[in-house]
Amino acid sequence: MNKKLNQSGLLFALMLAGASTGQANVEVTKSILGGLSEVESGKTFSYVLQYRNPSTTIPEFYNVTITDPLPPELEYRGFEGTADVNSVNYDSASHTLTIYFNNPLEDGKTGELEVRTAFKPGVTPDGTVALNTATIDADNSPADTSGQVSITARAENLAVLDKILLGPAFPWIRM
């Protein structure tokens, strides 16, 4: 009986130690502003990134970043952040937006970020689907990737073709 009690006590102590030193995650979710599922090519729409630090065991997270690799069919048009954001970098070669947070990101912090983008006008075929996720990471937290969101481009051919006849309709007839 005493042996069982000692094993139970050891298990309880390990659980307590794990709970007090356990690693909490910073979290990110992604959605499309207005719940859009399709948008006209060339028209700006926004992704909404919601971040949160729900930790009660880790008071602060360091070097927090969100990376958002935009699909190549989209063009980056801007960003709106919160006071928690230190800086933003968009790499046009990789189509990746990186958001850098102030150090540290304290527990209980939450916020919404807006990433403005659009399907490239004049080159995006009708029905093109853009799939997108974002990932938040910190030095002392495992990475968390949002669920995937999708949006479909609606486009129409706006090219106009005019035919003009130069000269007579029948070249063998002289006027």
pLDDT digits (tens, 9 = 90+) for 13-62: 333 333 334 456 899 999 999 999 999 999 999 999 999 988 767 778 99
Side chain identity, residue 22? G
- Taking a C-beta distance cutoff of 8 angstroms, is the pair 36, 45 a contact? yes
Q: Where does the pLDDT of residue 108 fall: very low under 50, low under 70, confident under 90, or very high at 90 and above?
A: confident
Q: Domain coordinates of the chain in residue numbers?
A: 22-144
Q: Which tokens sit at 104?
A: 């540290």
E strand intervals along 121-172: 129-132, 135-138, 141-145, 149-154
- Residue 61's DSSP bridge partners are 105
Residue 164 DSSP SS3: coil
Element (H, E) at 78: strand 74-80
**Rounded Cα gap, residues 139 and 76, in angstroms:** 27
CA distance 37 to 150: 7
On whether the CB atoms of residues 112 and 33 are closer than 8 A, the answer is: no
22-144, CATH topology level: Immunoglobulin-like (2.60.40)
pLDDT one-digit tens code per residue, 120-145: 998 999 999 999 999 999 999 999 99
pLDDT at 100: 98
Q: Report whether 119 contacts 155 (CB < 8 A).
A: yes
Task: Place 3 in a pLDDT band, splitting at 50, 70 and 90.
Answer: very low
**If you count DSSP H runs as helices and E runs as strands, how many of each does the chain have, helices first?**
1, 14
Give the global pTM: 0.77
| Chain Cα centroid distance, residue 90 | 12
